[in-house]
Structure 1
Amino acid sequence: MAAPLRIICCLALRQTGRPFSSSCVALAGKKWRLENGLSWTGSEYGPLTDLPDWSFADGRPAPPLKGQVRRKKEREEFARRAVYLNAEVDQGMERWRAKKEEEERAKEQIKSNMLKPKGHMLLKNKQ
């Protein structure tokens, strides 16, 4: 009885054009890498990606590869953008603080311009 079931399953798997395993081999170890603070693919950064593949015999470094130049440019652009956005946030915070201080000064000005109690009411408030 088990043999016909096995044959049916094998035939069904052969009829599909998809492989039996649907997991991606490239994502193997993704969870471990993320838990240990590494990149999720293993080839985004690191010495195997960033360092040159070879050097001259006399010690001179090899010219950078296209990918290395591209990654360096991307990192520089990212750093510039981070600095720009940080400066923008700082400016916004300064404007917000200045606005709050101005509102407080306006409230104090309104309070100081209000009518003061005189005569009997002044003596009553002091007690």
Structure 2
Amino acid sequence: MAAPVRTLCCAVLRLSSRQFSTTCGVQAGEKWRKEQGLARSGTEYGPLTDLPDWSYADGRPAPLMKGQLRRKQEREVLATRIVMLNSEVDRGMEAWSEKQEEAKRLEEYKKSLLLKPKGRLLMKKASKS
């Protein structure tokens, strides 16, 4: 019984003038927002999503909503990760510069071990200085 219904539906779809689209729709204005340096959609970040919708009449702020708390926590995690990675980069740069200085000292030490001028060459060198 399911086969004739399916055949009937396929025949109707083939005869209809409308086309079905299976692609996902692009959000309106997404390209423009990205070009302007804004979020992909108007609900990702900004004052409309980050600030409270209301406050008490006496001026006290409203308690944060679940989404605001989640975004705040995500930002804190991201900030701590940025600080940690930045400190790792600083430590790496210090280690690299220390390694460069050590290589320079080693090369100077190797140069100091080379044969030195003796006799007349030493006298000429001393008189030039």
| Alignment size in residue pairs | 115
Amino acid at match of 1:11: S
Q: Which residue of 1 aligns with 2:5?
A: none
CA-atom RMSD in angstroms: 2.6
Aligned partners of 1:29, 1:86: CA distance in 2, in Å? 35
Aligned to 1:3: none
Segments of structure 2 that go 5 or more residues without pairing to the other structure are 1-12
Aligned counterpart, 2:94: 94
Structure 1's unaligned 5+ residue stretches are: 1-7
CA distance in 1, matches of 2:110, 2:23: 71
Find the counterpart in structure 2 of residue 51 from structure 1.
51
Shift of 1:32: 0.7
Alpha-carbon shift at residue 116 of structure 1 (Å)? 0.6
Closer, same or farther: CA 56–121 of 1 in aligned 2, 3 Å: same
In structure 1, distance between residues paired with 2:73 and 2:30:
26
1:77-92 matched pairs, under 5 angstroms: 77-92=77-92
SS in 2 for 1:13: coil
What TM-score, normalized to structure 2? 0.77
> How many angstroms apart in 1 are the aligned matches of 2:15 and 2:36?
40
Residue 13 in 1 paired to residue 14 in 2? no
Give the aligned residue type for 1:24.
G
2:25 alignment counterpart: 24
